């Protein structure tokens, strides 16, 4: 009985110690927020404005270089993610248009009776 309680306490302790590591890994792999193309454009403009404001604050000496670098890195990463998302959506849109065009061509050939074979 004592051994069983010891094992349970050891497992519980291990779970408590490992929980932050497991959460941080799963948080990085989680889905990124999805925005409409208008929201992406608006968010990108907001990020660029934040970057300009950060640059001004840094030039005026309102923030330290370390903080400035950290904030700039975060804004750049966020902007890059939004650009990547926008490019992926545009790529999907192009593929969908090409797929529709191909389907129309196939229907046209079938209507003409050109099934060849």
Sign of the C-alpha dihedral computed for residues 21, 26, 29 and 34 taken in this order: negative
User: pTM, whole model, 2 decimals?
Assistant: 0.50
Sign of the C-alpha dihedral computed for residues 50, 52, 57 and 61 taken in this order: positive
* pLDDT at residue 104, rounded to an integer: 87
pLDDT tens track for 19-39: 766 765 544 444 455 667 788
Mean pLDDT of the chain: 80
CA distances in angstroms from 44 to 58, 76, 83, listed in the order given: 21, 10, 8
Domain range list for the chain: 34-80
pLDDT tens track for 37-93: 788 888 888 999 999 999 999 999 998 999 999 999 999 998 888 888 888 877 777
CA gap 91, 86 in Å, rounded: 9
């Amino acid at each position: 009985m004592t051994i069983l309680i010891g094992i349970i306490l050891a497992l519980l302790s291990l779970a408590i110690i490992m929980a932050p590591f497991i959460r941080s890994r799963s948080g990085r792999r989680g889905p990124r927020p999805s925005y409409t193309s208008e929201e992406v454009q608006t968010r990108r403009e907001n990020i660029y404005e934040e970057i300009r404001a950060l640059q001004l604050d840094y030039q005026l000496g309102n923030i330290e270089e370390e903080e400035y670098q950290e904030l700039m890195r975060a804004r750049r990463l966020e902007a890059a993610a939004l650009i990547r998302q926008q490019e992926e959506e545009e790529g999907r849109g192009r593929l969908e248009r090409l797929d529709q065009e191909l389907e129309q061509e196939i229907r046209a050939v079938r209507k003409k009776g050109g099934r060849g074979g």
